[in-house]
Amino acid sequence: MNSGDASSRVDTSTLLGLVLAVAGIFGAQYIDGGRLSSLVQGTAFLIVVAGTIGAVLVQTPTPVFTRAVRMARWALFPPRRDAERLIGRLVEWAHLARRDGALALESRLRQTDDAFARTGLQMVVDGFTPDHLREALEVEQSTRDETHRAAVRVWEAAGGYAPTIGIIGAVLGLIHVMENLADPTRLGAGIAVAFVATIYGLVFANLVLLPIAGKLRTVCAEESLFRELTQEALVGIAAGEHPQLIRARLKGFVAA
């Protein structure tokens, strides 16, 4: 739902969580007397990031992967929804249809930039029965929900692969160490890659990938709720229900 909703802004909990997690890791390293630079290993980063992306690409169709990447911004800039404003708009449509007839809603089509609401509103204007309207909107709702779930699963899959790729990086680092036992000057770099790769895998999975999946799941659930509100209101309008009855029903969806 875009029409009438507040614009996206930074989600402070996501930003604060990332800052706190990174500060905790580097802070603990510093307090323990370790060098912060030892946590920065380009080779380990390349192994974990490239390996995780590659594994996800093998599993995921390209359109789904692309959609998941686009949706990632919702973790930091989630769409802001105003339930009271939406309900007010839907009830206003109900009053207009009850007073002037369903055809009067045609003027609202140009003012509605949300595709789901516009589709349903057009069906009301075209005289679809409530049952047919509900059936059509439920199909579209189900399709949209599955599309979002598929995108969320991409991030969950990445969170599952990253630690394993990190272990692969650790094994590669240890192989490098074993190949250079005769040259003590090269042992440090190999050991660093081994352990840092494991850390990167765990950090990316548990502080980035899985949290993004969880945040997207929450945002998608909210999106689904707002589409359900729209669907219920439009079906009520098509059935000729009183606007106050529609308002009471919609209030029940968002009751705390």
Q: Give the pLDDT of the chain (256 residues) as one tens digit per residue.
A: 444 444 457 888 888 888 888 888 878 777 877 677 777 888 889 999 999 999 999 999 999 999 999 999 998 888 888 889 999 999 999 999 999 999 999 989 888 888 999 999 999 999 999 999 999 999 999 999 999 999 999 999 999 999 999 999 888 878 877 777 776 666 666 676 678 889 999 999 999 999 999 999 999 999 999 999 999 999 999 999 999 999 999 999 886 5
Cβ-based neighbour number of residue 1 at 10 Å: 23
Write the CB contacts of 94 (distance below 8 Å, at least 6 apart in sequence): 233, 236, 237, 241, 242, 243, 246, 247
Measure the N-to-C terminal CA separation of the chain; round to a whole number of Å. 21
Residues 68, 78, single domain; the answer is yes
In angstroms, the Cα distances linking 172 to 34, 51, 198 are 23, 13, 11
Number of domains forming the structure of the chain: 2
How far is 130 from 123, CA to CA, in rounded Å?
A: 10
Residues 232, 177, single domain; the answer is yes
Cβ-based neighbour number of residue 116 at 10 Å: 20
Pure H helices in the chain: 12-31, 42-59, 62-71, 83-100, 106-109, 115-125, 130-179, 187-203, 210-238, 243-253
Write the CB contacts of 62 (distance below 8 Å, at least 6 apart in sequence): none
Write the CB contacts of 208 (distance below 8 Å, at least 6 apart in sequence): 18
- Asked if the structure places residue 204 within a domain, the reply is yes
Q: What is the DSSP-derived secondary structure letter of residue 184?
A: G
Residues 30, 115, single domain; the answer is no
Judging by beta carbons within 10 Å of its beta carbon (0-12, 13-18, 19+), is residue 10 exposed, middle or buried?
exposed
Residues 19, 113, single domain; the answer is no
Residues 83, 203, single domain; the answer is yes
| Paired tokens of 105 | 């809603």
Contact 109, 118 (CB under 8 A): yes
- Asked if the structure places residue 94 within a domain, the reply is yes
- Asked if the structure places residue 230 within a domain, the reply is yes
Question: What is the span of the domain harbouring residue 15?
Answer: 9-40
Residues 83, 13, single domain; the answer is no
Residues 18, 64, single domain; the answer is no
